Amino acid sequence: MQKDPSTKIFDLLQFGEYGDVNPSVCDSATFTFMQAKTMMDTFHGEAEGCFLYSRHWNPSNKYLADALAAMEGTESAWVTASGMAAITCSILQICNSGDHIVCSLTTYGGTFAFLFNYVKKFNIDVTFVDITNLDLVKQAIRPNTRMIYTESMTNPLLQISDIPALAKISDDHHIKLVVDNTFTPMIVAPYQLGAHIVVYSMTKFINGKNDCVAGAICASHEFINALSDVNAGTAMLLGPALDPLRSSSILKNMHTLHIRMKQHSTNAMYLAVKFKEYGIKINYPGLPENKGHKTLKGMMNPEFGFGGLIAIDMVTAERAAKLMEIMEKSGVGYLAVSLGYFKTLFSNSGKSTSSEVPEEIQREMGLSEGLVRFSVGLDNDIENTWQKIQSCLSQM
């Protein structure tokens, strides 16, 4: 059982330079010094509390990073311009040419494409496995393996990774466990369960408004310092800096994250039960019969529920498309990718966010062509939402 992560955020007092209750937005690209030596020391990371250049670091980004580290229980954090930037920078910081990665077969399409296609140019090899089968994970590890990569709740099949067990495997082989926790902030705290690096697309639940793209990396001081080193740090040299105005808005939104996650989870559970009663094949880890239910229950902070993602199987892509079009016209939500928004979003994963995965591999992972993934919104009257969905189903 984990401690309430929202308390850690609220205990972190961050005032602006004039006592602002919302820390000031720093929109300077560069920073001045009264002494040349202080600039030199700052460039080499030896001047506490000084800033040099906003691609390196700036006060607004630091405020947000400190809040994320407090939430995750990590020593440090770094914010990036997208979730993919957080993922790719973490991977490339750990792995060199000739190295090997073990990755969950079921993972976000962009991550899959990066590991299946892109890292080949660096001579980095990747083995994709069913991350819920720990024997297969162990068997996939080689002498040159540097990392196990997974998602707390995988996209889009909502499989649950046994993070403590994967952490033990990683520690036994002296490799890193990197966990994408985008689907389950507050619900799961991977670092506290033994993961070494936690990555996020803050575009989703953490920000919650679908008005920006951002990412985060939460880890030890040692890893974040290496990642941001001016001479060899991947995040520093590839330059995916987050705009400070966006950092400021995300930081404010984080203070409602605990409330939003509870409502997302409550609404998702309600719809999952209704779909089950209706006779639609439903995938939701909150249901006791779900394969990942016991694993998630053993890791989660129960106050925040089982998450806001559900998936139903309409069998064919054509039926999925028809249902989504009817639901959008009926006001259920939006036919759109992404998740964590205050409105319900739904998409046919195999034709959208997982379309980078070849069809034969989609079949191997058990991804139905008719799978519709719902990111359930913050609807106050979720029964009314279900009545709309039921009416849409009756038109199929």
Q: What percent of the chain lies above the pLDDT cut of 90? A: 80
Write out the DSSP string of 341-359: -SS-EEEEGGGTTTTTS-H
| pLDDT single digits (tens) 72-129 | 999 999 999 999 999 999 999 999 999 999 999 999 999 999 999 999 999 999 999 9
Confidence (pLDDT) at 236: 92
Rounded to the nearest angstrom, the gap between the alpha carbon of residue 124 and the centroid of all alpha carbons in its chain is 23
Q: How many domains does the chain have?
A: 2
- The pTM of the full predicted model, rounded to 2 decimals, is 0.93
Please name the amino acid found at residue 209: K
Structure tokens given for 276:
């089950």
Tell whether 151 and 294 lie within a shared domain: no
Place of tokens 């394969």: 291
Sheet holding 125-129, edge to edge: 76-80, 215-219, 197-201, 176-180, 145-151, 100-104, 125-129
Q: Can you give the CATH number for the domain in which 304 is found? A: 3.90.1150.10
Q: What percent of the chain lies above the pLDDT cut of 70? A: 95
H helical segments located in 144-256? 163-172, 221-227, 234-238, 244-254
Tell whether 207 and 266 lie within a shared domain: no
Instruction: Name the DSSP class of 282.
Output: E
Question: Which residue among 209, 233, 254 closes a domain?
Answer: 254
Burial class (CB in 10 A: 0-12, 13-18, 19+), 338: middle
Q: Count the Cβ atoms, other than its own, within 10 Å of residue 92.
A: 18
Sheet holding 309-313, edge to edge: 282-283, 309-313, 371-375, 345-348, 334-335
Tell whether 267 and 351 lie within a shared domain: yes
Rounded-to-integer distance, Cα 235 and Cα 382, Å:
42
The average pLDDT across 322-331 equals 97
Burial class (CB in 10 A: 0-12, 13-18, 19+), 293: middle
Tell whether 326 and 231 lie within a shared domain: no
Rounded-to-integer distance, Cα 278 and Cα 320, Å:
16
Tell whether 165 and 236 lie within a shared domain: yes
Tell whether 235 and 281 lie within a shared domain: no
Question: Which residue among 203, 224, 254 closes a domain?
Answer: 254
What three-state secondary structure class fits 233? coil
Residue 299 pLDDT level (bands cut at 50, 70, 90): very high
Rounded to the nearest angstrom, the gap between the alpha carbon of residue 231 and the centroid of all alpha carbons in its chain is 28
The average pLDDT across 145-157 equals 97
Tell whether 182 and 55 lie within a shared domain: yes
Rounded to the nearest angstrom, the gap between the alpha carbon of residue 372 and the centroid of all alpha carbons in its chain is 19
Q: Answer for the pair 214, 79: CB distance below 8 angstroms, yes or no.
A: yes
Confidence (pLDDT) at 228: 92
Residue 182 pLDDT level (bands cut at 50, 70, 90): very high
The average pLDDT across 191-198 equals 98
Please name the amino acid found at residue 294: K
Residue 1 pLDDT level (bands cut at 50, 70, 90): very low
Residue 13 pLDDT level (bands cut at 50, 70, 90): low
Tell whether 85 and 14 lie within a shared domain: yes
The average pLDDT across 183-211 equals 98
Residue 358 pLDDT level (bands cut at 50, 70, 90): confident
Rounded-to-integer distance, Cα 224 and Cα 221, Å:
5
Tell whether 104 and 196 lie within a shared domain: yes
| pLDDT single digits (tens) 212-262 | 999 999 999 999 999 999 899 999 999 999 999 999 999 999 999 999 999
Q: Answer for the pair 251, 23: CB distance below 8 angstroms, yes or no.
A: yes
Tell whether 213 and 281 lie within a shared domain: no
Domain containing residue 30: 5-254
Question: Which residue among 199, 226, 254 closes a domain?
Answer: 254
Helix 257-278 × helix 382-394 angle, to 10°: 40
| pLDDT single digits (tens) 195-208 | 999 999 999 999 99
The average pLDDT across 382-387 equals 98
**Average pLDDT, rounded, for the chain:** 93
Pairing verdict, β 371-375 and 345-348:
antiparallel
Tell whether 110 and 231 lie within a shared domain: yes
Confidence (pLDDT) at 321: 95
Residue 14 pLDDT level (bands cut at 50, 70, 90): low
Q: Answer for the pair 119, 126: CB distance below 8 angstroms, yes or no.
A: yes
Q: Can you give the CATH number for the domain in which 75 is found? A: 3.40.640.10
Tell whether 245 and 264 lie within a shared domain: no
Instruction: Name the DSSP class of 30.
Output: B
Structure tokens given for 35:
């002494």
